[in-house]
Amino acid sequence: MTVTTVHPENDLQHRQRCGWVGVDIGTSTIKLAQVERYHGRWQLRFGQILPRPPHEWDPSLTGLRDILHTTLQGSHRWRSRPAACLLPTPLSELRVLDLPSAPDPELLHLVDAELNYADDRAPGDYQAGFWRTNPCRSHQANCLVHVISTPTDAAQTAASELNRAKLQCQAIDTHPFAAARAIAMAPPTTSAEIIVAVDWGFDAIWLTIVRHGTPCFTRLLSGCGLRKVVANLQTGLKLTHEEACQLLGKYGLQTDDDMAPGEIQKTICNLTKEPVKQAMQELQRTLQFIAYEHPELTPQHACLLGGGAALKGTDQLLAQQLALPTTVWSLSTQATSAATPFSHQAVLGKAIALSAIPLMA
């Protein structure tokens, strides 16, 4: 699937304001995007969503180069070849640690020690990034630290595969920071200071509380992705994976606003209600935990990204279940609902945020 393209003149000034190529490597799709900054506004130059059959997904990422090279070969749409990427969710492990307050270099040693102790692995086996989610003041003994780690061989393979596809891998980002950057890039649709980004992907939901463009709280809701939704449709209707995805893409998820759903909608609702209910319950529990433990981070607005954002009714479903005004992420100032052309930008949201890294530095 190819999404909105901007075709400015081919001159040096345009090249200088173009971002990197953002590569969001998912389990079921690979998302590519490139943005530019024009008169203070973000514009999507080009975006593409490349399907990946889940049964062919290789956790080692070998073969990624072939998919990218086929798409990029001979294409003049991509202005520059520096790139940033995200690894698939199953290769990203999130931990929240309560550690003694310390300067960052000391904190890094504490993080490494915790990871080594927990998993009995050597420091060279993984790459880890961390950030504080509450300020360390002199009177505080501890601080909360979010840590995301990924296997070193997976990170090296991803960078190597991008390089073999003639992309110059400059950075491997993390899901919470990509989501927070996407929120900061979108035109303001609310005056809310604290927004919850709900990235509903194939394998899981990444929930990130974003304040002033910074991820202040993150939870990875494993097993709450669209995989179970698609699998239930496959089994119940004896469809292939591709057919189930097409059916879901066409009819979406039923909400209370569907006053007179047709037979197909009723069937989809019956087959998918359990995994959808599980996902909504996990989101509700997480927000209840935040309200109790971190009331200062209680969100006033929800923003939907990922594959779930492209399904009809998901924004309404979230608004109902979370009791929060909910919008579908977009670079456009136009009001956006799930299953509109602009909703496909929400699928590309993190790839777009990757592209913007050098323009937001």
Which CATH number covers residue 247? 3.30.420.40
User: How many residues can be counted in the chain?
Assistant: 361
Where are the alpha helices (H) located in 166-239, listed in sequence order?
175-185, 227-237
Residues 169 and 46 in one domain: yes
Residues 16 and 78 in one domain: yes
Record the pTM. 0.88
* Predicted local confidence at residue 169, as pLDDT: 92
Residues 259 and 225 in one domain: yes
Q: Residue 209, class by beta-carbon neighbours within 10 Å (0-12 exposed, 13-18 middle, 19+ buried)?
A: buried
Residues 117 and 37 in one domain: no
Residues 20 and 167 in one domain: yes
Number of domains in the chain: 3
* Predicted local confidence at residue 54, as pLDDT: 63
Where are the alpha helices (H) located in 144-213, listed in sequence order?
152-164, 175-185
Distance of CA 249 to the CA centre of its chain: 19
The residue ranges of the chain whose pLDDT is under 50 are 2-13, 136-139, 259-260, 335-337, 339-342
* Predicted local confidence at residue 118, as pLDDT: 64
What digits encode the pLDDT tens for the residues 176-189? 999 999 999 988 77
Among residues 135, 150, 165, which one ends one of the domains?
150
Residues 211 and 325 in one domain: yes
- 8 Å CB contact between 322 and 200: no
Give the end-to-end CA distance of the chain in Å, rounded to a whole number.
30
Residues 311 and 187 in one domain: yes
* Predicted local confidence at residue 333, as pLDDT: 57
Helix axes 152-164, 64-72, angle to 10 degrees: 30
Residues 255 and 142 in one domain: no
Residues 9 and 82 in one domain: yes
Residues 102 and 188 in one domain: no
Where are the alpha helices (H) located in 51-164, listed in sequence order?
64-72, 104-119, 152-164
Residues 38 and 165 in one domain: yes
What digits encode the pLDDT tens for the residues 35-90? 998 888 898 888 899 887 666 566 667 678 888 877 776 555 655 589 999 999 99
Smallest CA-to-CA distance from 97 within 132, 136, 46 is with 132
Dihedrals φ, ψ of 310, to 5°?
A: -85, 0
**Domain of 118?**
91-150
Smallest CA-to-CA distance from 323 within 278, 291, 346 is with 291
Residues 185 and 277 in one domain: yes
